[in-house]
Structure 1
Amino acid sequence: MAQVHDSMMTPRIEDLMSKVDSKFKLVTLAALRARQINSYFGQLGEGLGASIPPQVTSVARKPLSIAFEEIAADKITAEPLPDETEADTEAAPAE
């Protein structure tokens, strides 16, 4: 028999939002990781081993669901972006 969920999404969006500082970062991080997971499953038979396998044991079959579970389990973290002022000073030519 199918497992009953209390919401449409597991892990809950509130739990995921506590791991990142914006919805945009959550969606971007999950989408990038889902592409990596999809590549991993696509090359399993070829023996290339270029992609990182899923970091959590999941019953989900969809790469995006697995990515969300990894974020909720703190296996995937968002790297802080450098400040714009630091990037501008590094890109500016020295006089």
Structure 2
Amino acid sequence: MLIEQIPLENGCALCLRFEMQKYPLLVIRAEKGFLMCGYLNVSAAETLGDTAAKVKGVQSFEDMLKAPVVEVTKFAEELGIEVGITGREALEKMF
């Protein structure tokens, strides 16, 4: 497992990378929520009351920051996070 920190404009995010068989499982955690890769399930995050946004087709933390958000929980929507913004924009709203 790889753990890194990425400084963003509104705070510092914690990045987790877990090597799977073909592609990595990636999560970037901010103060109020997290950005997830395609391995993880938005409906599960919503059921658990989490603020989460999902990006797909990513293999690095930098890919996640550039990729468009494809799905969000209602809690993320309440912070102004919407489908189509970049992962970086979504994370900035989670501080």
Q: TM-score, normalised by structure 1?
A: 0.27
Q: Per chain length, whose mean CA-contact separation is higher, i.e. which structure has more relative contact order (CA < 8 Å, sep 6+)? A: 1
* Structure that is richer in strand per residue: 2
* Structure that is richer in helix per residue: 1
